[in-house]
């Protein structure tokens, strides 16, 4: 960037783990860290708000309130005091999906801590995806896996909820298990999908496709151009 352009952009002060850096105000926290000179290894992933790699805790200078955000999805502000949480050692229960059922009895064996929820709502307050985390934990406690699956769906598994939980619930892993139980056992399977898969395995779809593969390019092109779009 040339100096002339630089002069036109408003700069802000960013405190990365206590050190002050001056960066353009149009950047995200992630871009701001890179602008400051960090080559990110941890704390950076998809850069688009899907992967949960860049959970960041910050507060504004002079304020006491801790705020959170995904570094790639949050604009820098003047006086931001921040640190990233690049990894959280939350527990994942392992299970054989075919050997369990969507019941509270099974769930309690995998994640007994969800039943110790104090109802403090720290998880919901901290979620950068604005998910009502405590509510889906309540649905799990009641065995309502359909509702838990629905409202937890947008979770990016960043781990911030776990970092604040006073009873050590690993919400994101519990939610993933709930979604898999719902999808495997409560949502109905697609009937025609099973029929089509069976047909392919029996070779019933072979002749139609082999006829295409064996036709010359001109024929294929003609078929493509004339194909009906339904």
Partner 1 sequence: MAYTGNIGELVKKVEESRTSRVGVHYPRMTQEERRDVLEKFHPDYNTDGFRNLKVGVNKGARLPVEMADVFETWSRLRDRKPDLQADPVYDVDVLIIGGGGAGAAAALEAKAAGASVLIATKLRFGDANTMMAQGGIQAADKENDTPAIHYLDVVGGGRFENIPELARALVMDAPLVIKWLEDMGTMFDKKEDGTMITIHGGGTSRKRMHAARDYTGAEIMRTLRDEVLNKGITVVEFCAAVDLILDQNGRAAGAVLFNLETEQYLSARAKTVIMATGGSGRLHYRGFPTSNHYGATADGLVIGYRAGAKIIYADSIQYHPTGGAYPPQLLGLLVTEKTRGLGATPLNIKGEQFVYHLETRDVASSAILKECHERKLGVPLPTGISSVWLDSPIIELTHGEGTIERQLPAMMRQFQRFGVDIRTEPMLIYPTLHYQNGGLLIDENGLSTVENLYVAGEAAGGIHGTNRLMGNSLLDIIVFGRRAGRHAAFVSKEMSVPAGLNLDHLDAFHRELEATGAADGRVGPMLLPHYTHR
Task: Show contacts with partner 1 in window 48-87 (CB under 8 A).
Answer: 48-51, 53, 73-75
Interface residue with partner 1, options 12, 14, 16, 44 (CB under 8 A): 44
**Subset of residues 99 to 128 that bind partner 1, contact rule: CB under 8 A:** none
Binding mask 146-175 for partner 1 (x = CB under 8 A): ---x---xx-xx------------------
Hey, what are 223's tokens? 């078929």
Q: 166 vs 198, which CB is nearer to partner 1? A: 198
The SS3 assignment for 184 reads: helix
Size of the site for partner 1 (CB under 8 A): 73
Q: 64 vs 192, which CB is nearer to partner 1? A: 192
Q: 112 vs 198, which CB is nearer to partner 1? A: 198
- Biggest CA pair distance of the chain: 73
- Characterize the bridge pairing of strands 55-60 and 67-70: antiparallel
Q: Does 88 bind partner 1 (CB under 8 A)?
A: no
Between the alpha carbon of residue 94 and those of residues 115, 145, 184, 205, the distances in Å are 18, 18, 16, 38
Which element (helix H / strand E) includes 150? Answer: helix 145-152
Q: Does 10 bind partner 1 (CB under 8 A)?
A: no
Q: 64 vs 208, which CB is nearer to partner 1? A: 208
- Pick the stretch among 23-31, 77-85, 111-119, 163-171 that binds partner 1 (CB under 8 A): 23-31
Hey, what are 209's tokens? 């496709």
**219 CB contacts (<8 Å, ≥6 apart)?**
none
Q: Does 47 bind partner 1 (CB under 8 A)?
A: yes
Hey, what are 177's tokens? 């298990």
**Subset of residues 183 to 222 that bind partner 1, contact rule: CB under 8 A:** 183-184, 187-194, 196-197, 200-201, 205, 208-209, 211-213, 217, 220-221
Radius of gyration for the chain, computed over Cα atoms and rounded to the nearest angstrom: 25
Taken as a whole, the chain contains a residue count of: 230
């Amino acid at each position: 960037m040339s100096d002339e352009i630089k002069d036109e952009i408003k700069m802000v002060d960013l405190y990365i783990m206590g050190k002050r850096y001056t960066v353009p105000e149009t950047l995200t926290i992630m871009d701001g860290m890179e602008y400051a000179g960090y080559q990110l290894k941890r704390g950076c992933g998809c850069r688009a708000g899907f992967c949960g790699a860049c959970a960041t805790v910050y507060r504004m200078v002079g304020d006491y309130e801790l705020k959170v955000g995904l570094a790639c999805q949050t604009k820098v502000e003047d006086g931001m005091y921040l640190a990233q949480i690049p990894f959280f050692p939350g527990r994942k229960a392992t299970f054989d999906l075919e050997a369990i059922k969507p019941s509270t009895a099974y769930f309690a064996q995998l994640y007994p801590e969800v039943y110790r929820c104090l109802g403090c709502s720290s998880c919901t307050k901290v979620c950068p995806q604005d998910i009502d985390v405590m509510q889906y934990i309540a649905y799990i406690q009641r065995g309502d896996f359909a509702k838990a699956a629905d409202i937890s769906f947008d979770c990016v598994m960043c781990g911030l909820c776990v970092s604040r939980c006073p009873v050590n619930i690993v919400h994101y892993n519990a939610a993933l298990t709930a979604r898999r139980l719902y999808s495997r056992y409560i949502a109905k399977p697609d009937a025609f999908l099973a029929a089509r898969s069976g047909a392919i395995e029996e070779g019933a779809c072979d002749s139609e496709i082999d006829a295409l593969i064996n036709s010359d390019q001109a024929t294929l092109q003609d078929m493509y151009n004339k194909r009906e779009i339904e």
